[in-house]
Amino acid sequence: MGLPEDLTPYDLITRMQFKGRYDPQIKKRLDTAVSNGRYIMPGSIEVDTIHSVKGLESPAVVIDCSFLEDRVKDAKADPEEERRVGYVAVTRSSNHVSLIEPLNGPWSPIFEPVRGWWS
């Protein structure tokens, strides 16, 4: 069963969880988009985990480079898996990839090497 079509961006974010934990950074970004008048229309944007989009393609992909504190240890334990996940993330786009810098907190180790390229 999917989500109702008439959910607002705020409704969507209040339902989003990552491993059962609420991520306030995502809510803040969507709140900013809504307050600037940029509403997300149903069907125009999909928010998924990297693992759930393996094998799929989209014209544009936006990747949040932030990392939950409790995932840093896991990433260091298996850097090869993290590189594979990063590869999946950046190769889902047929035309454009954008990386979003973390507002605070750690960068994903996958994307740490490109940190600051556009500053």
- Tell me which range, 9-13, 17-21, 38-42, 75-79, is most confidently predicted by mean pLDDT: 75-79
The Cα 19–Cα 79 span in angstroms is 20
What are the pLDDT digits (tens) for 77-111? Answer: 777 777 788 888 888 888 888 888 777 777 777 77
37 and 69 co-located in one domain: no
62 and 107 co-located in one domain: yes
Tokens of 54: 């393996």
Closest by alpha carbon to 39, among 61, 16, 12? 12
62 and 115 co-located in one domain: yes
75 and 58 co-located in one domain: yes
40 and 56 co-located in one domain: no
CB 69 within 8 A of CB 106: yes
71 and 104 co-located in one domain: yes
111 and 72 co-located in one domain: yes
88 and 36 co-located in one domain: no
Range of the domain at 104: 48-119
